[in-house]
Structure 1
Amino acid sequence: MRETTIEKALTQAVHMAGGLCLKFVSPGWAGAPDRLCLLAGTAVFVEVKAPGKHPRPIQTHRHHQLAAQGFPTIVIDHPDQIREVLHALHAA
């Protein structure tokens, strides 16, 4: 399974829940998460990886920076993990 397949499933699931799942591109800020998911005043960053792959060190560093500002980053590498993103969006 490819990363893009998981990313499309994530986008569709968030949209079905009534939220937005935006491609997050930040020129000049290497390691930014792939997606910014928004629902009812809650923001969750999502790093999508191919199955079995892990974030690069710069990505992990960015995740920690975002967490320090109160914005969680969830790393997923399988469609079953999309539930975790939806739970985080509904939890706040």
Structure 2
Amino acid sequence: MQESQLERLLKRKVESLGGQALKFVSPGMSGVPDRLVLIPGGRAVFAEMKAPGKNLRPLQEKRKRDLESLGFTVCKLDSRETIDAFIRRFFHEV
């Protein structure tokens, strides 16, 4: 499955549970996660989408560490299984 297909799957599942999976871009700052997932109840999680078996680039790893040092959660999603686990983890109260 391609990264773009996984991204659409995540968006569809999140929206079906009342959340939003916004495309995240930050002009002037490369390497930020692909999606900002807004979860009912006022929670937000970043999602970095990858094709199956692909790793984060070094700059993406740095941005992940930077966001996590601020207290945010950043998840790498690279398969249907990781998306399903993400949904279970963050939407279990919905």
1:30-77 deviation line (CA, Å, top 9, x unaligned): 100000001121111000001110110000000000001111100011
How far apart, in 2, do the equivalents of 1:91 and 1:26 lie? 29
Matched pairs, number: 92
* TM norm structure 2: 0.91
User: Does structure 2 conserve the Cα–Cα contact (< 8 Å) formed by 1:44 and 1:85?
Assistant: no
- Correspondences of 1:1-92 after superposition (within 5 Å): 1-39=1-39, 40-90=41-91
Q: Percent identical across equivalent pairs?
A: 42
Gap runs ≥5 in structure 1: none
Supply the AA of the counterpart residue of 1:67: E
RMSD (Å), alpha carbons: 1.4
| Residue 88 (structure 1) shift | 3.8
